Structure 1
Amino acid sequence: MAKQYKTELAACSSSMVATTIAYPLDFVKSRMQGYQIDYKTAARDAYHKEGLRAFWRGVVPPTLSIALVRTFSFRMYQGTKYYLDQQFFEMNGRSPLILANTPGRLPTWDTIACHGIAGMAAGAFVTFLSCPFELMKLNAQLAGKVARDKAILEAKEKVGKSHTETKQAGKNNTTGHTIAKEPKIKTPGSLVLFSQQLKTGGYGRAYAGFQLHLARDILGTGVYFSTYETVKQTLNNFPGAGLNGGFAVPIAGGLCGMTSWAVIIPIDTAKTTYQKARLAVAKGVHVPMPHLHYFKRASYRGLGVSCMRSAVVNMIFFSIYESAKTSIDRFVGDELD
């Protein structure tokens, strides 16, 4: 049974560990994209105004949901990869998977295409599952600042009203104005926040920005898997590397994460901007879809922290993932990957 579900077991366990460790970087990235601010400002503002716990606000639901989504994604990727391998073999007599797992062989167009197309199929499939979960995560990450800004505005309005009444009463005000003290905000949990959003905007809000999410995941997952498998296969040829051993896996994991985010971040920025706007309006209010702008500085806001986060997550993830699969194979027998 362990052999039958080794992909799922390895993907789920490694995903939970990697997501939890790197979650603060994802939190800062969402604040940067949602409020058009830089990394230092986003991190400093959250820390000073909301405390260290803010960086892990809502971490449990996305950790569980990402583990679930990634498990389905890898299952879909594996199945599609084996199917494409058979199709390639029938067309030209070459098996991309045998080539990829043969020591001394370098990547070919067949191996790159096989892994890339399988990744795109997996990305398209899991978007239907992951879209509501990612929106829930974004809602939780932005909720603290939204609530804080609202409370500050209300406090300033009260101070202004009080100051006006004081002047009308003919009393002196030595300072001329009063600065409202920023209140401490305690936000509800992710599930409570998201259920409030669904009540306000309807159940269709769970799939707000689905088109952008789908485009991001198809492109990003294709680049992700093709980069990982290509880099891993290349590095496995270095002396002493061994098959999926040593430095090959963490380097390939880090590079695939950074490369995929560098490609998709304009789409992700547009998605975050659109979803933030949708979360802020009432049901039935139209929010225009943002334009995609590649090679425009504003579209790459958060690129550094996104690449850093993705590199850390995927170095940890693939190291645990490959190690878990190897451990299972050691007990129940090898299998072609």
Structure 2
Amino acid sequence: MSERRPGKYLFDSAALNESLKSNKAVVCALSASYISTFAGYPLDSIKSRLQTTKQRVSIPRLALTVYQEEGIVGFYRGIWIPLITISFVRAASFTIYSRTKEYFRDRHWLSRNRIFDVSAVGGISGALSGSLISFASAPFELVKVRRQLEYSIASSKGIRLEKAPKTLEAVRDIFRSSGILGLYTGFRLHFLRDTLGTALYFFEYDGFRYIMGRHASGEQGQTPLWLPIPASVVPFFCGSLAGVTSWALIYPLDVVKTKVQQRALAGERKRGVVETFRRLIRGPDPDHPKPLLKGIARLYQGLGVSALRSVTTHGLLWTFFDLTASYIDRLPGPANRE
């Protein structure tokens, strides 16, 4: 009898492969999310600062100011929030999205292989995913916004920070001032943004993948003659395009949400959504309103850096998602269901 080498049978590779295949959406979402989140977080931090600053400032100048005042750490302030929460937010989001699509497919609803059906199923799945996940993600995003805007919030209170409080200290401050419900400040706007944004995102992504030649089976076919890009670039292209366009449509809602949350965290007088929106567009003086176009430009302040973040984050997200999915599909064992 041949001697078994140590360590060769420490785990059952067949069971591991089966587990990876049955949890493919979760594994792909986790691995891709960590990489894309880390790459895009500095741009997200600059975006939040641009949304809440009262003066127009260029992205390079703001980035230089952050670096001079806070160092490299300033760009990654609060990153542990999304890195920790991404483990269940993205995994749960993609699982709900994938299972909803399976539910539609099993019942042959919107099952004709045409762009409307493909996009509609993606949009419905995304809306369900975004609305359910928002209940869990809202407190974490509020803390992330608090961490990103620590210095501007302190400045509005007339306080000069020598050292920003850590994440747990920020959570305790919110809890002390407003209780457990304080972690859900701005939740209605967060819920609306995530439901609409996720629906638009998956609606567009699945539609773009259909146009770029993905079959109903999930396999990538030939790209169209008018855009003959390599098949390996398709996930990045479709993810970036869906991320930028869907984000641009809901961007004003995100600006209002961030502004409402900033005022609440700073302990300033509460303003309603309509009043916040009007003041952003027309300014604080109703007798001398700002020009409409200037107000709209103010509402879209930070969109450029946000678009760049979307290209980076969502392009990398789907690229690594597809790479991980392809790796799992090639593992020996029974085929998993998409």
Distance 1:226 1:275 in 2: 28
TM-superposed CA distance for 1:208, in Å, is 0.8
* Cα pair distance change 1:333/1:323, threshold 3 Å: farther
Instruction: Answer with 1 or 2: which has the greater Rg.
Output: 1
Distance 1:232 1:112 in 2: 9
Percent sequence identity over matched residues? 32
TM-superposed CA distance for 1:66, in Å, is 2.7
Q: Say if 2:156 and 2:266, in contact at 8 Å, map to a contact too.
A: no
| Corresponding residue to 1:275 among 254, 257, 261 | 261
Bigger shift: residues 265-274 or 67-76: 67-76
2:208 counterpart SS class: helix
2:22 counterpart SS class: coil
Q: Does 1:44 align with 2:43?
A: no
TM-superposed CA distance for 1:286, in Å, is 3.9
Q: Does 1:318 align with 2:318?
A: yes
1:121 maps to amino acid: L
Bigger shift: residues 298-307 or 127-136: 298-307
Q: Say if 1:85 and 1:114, in contact at 8 Å, map to a contact too.
A: no
Distance 1:306 1:223 in 2: 17
The aligned counterpart of 2:8 is none
The aligned counterpart of 1:5 is 23
1:291 counterpart SS class: helix
Structure-to-structure mapping, 1:52-67, within 5 angstroms: 52-67=72-87
1:113 maps to amino acid: A
Q: Does 1:200 align with 2:196?
A: no
Deviations 1:290-312 (A, max 9, x none): 33779822221111111110110
The aligned counterpart of 1:72 is 92
2:100 maps to amino acid: T
Bigger shift: residues 289-298 or 50-59: 289-298
Distance 2:151 2:105 in 1: 48
Query: Taking structure 2 as the reference length, what is the TM-score of the superposition?
Result: 0.79
Distance 1:11 1:33 in 2: 28
2:69 maps to amino acid: K
Deviations 1:58-106 (A, max 9, x none): 211221213421111001111111222344x25xxx625xx3xxxxxxx
Structure-to-structure mapping, 1:1-337, within 5 angstroms: 1-36=19-54, 37-38=56-57, 39-87=59-107, 89=108, 95-96=111-112, 99=113, 107-147=114-154, 153=158, 185-236=162-213, 237-238=222-223, 245-281=231-267, 286-289=270-273, 290-291=276-277, 296-331=296-331, 332-337=333-338
CA RMSD of aligned residues (A): 2.5
TM-superposed CA distance for 1:140, in Å, is 0.3
2:255 maps to amino acid: T
TM-superposed CA distance for 1:239, in Å, is 6.8
1:64 maps to amino acid: I
* Cα pair distance change 1:212/1:115, threshold 3 Å: same
Distance 1:214 1:148 in 2: 29
TM-superposed CA distance for 1:148, in Å, is 5.6
* Cα pair distance change 1:5/1:336, threshold 3 Å: closer
Q: Say if 1:144 and 1:185, in contact at 8 Å, map to a contact too.
A: no
Query: Taking structure 1 as the reference length, what is the TM-score of the superposition?
Result: 0.79
Distance 1:269 1:67 in 2: 26
Distance 1:84 1:275 in 2: 37
* Cα pair distance change 1:147/1:81, threshold 3 Å: same
Bigger shift: residues 297-306 or 249-258: 297-306
TM-superposed CA distance for 1:336, in Å, is 4.8
TM-superposed CA distance for 1:245, in Å, is 3.6
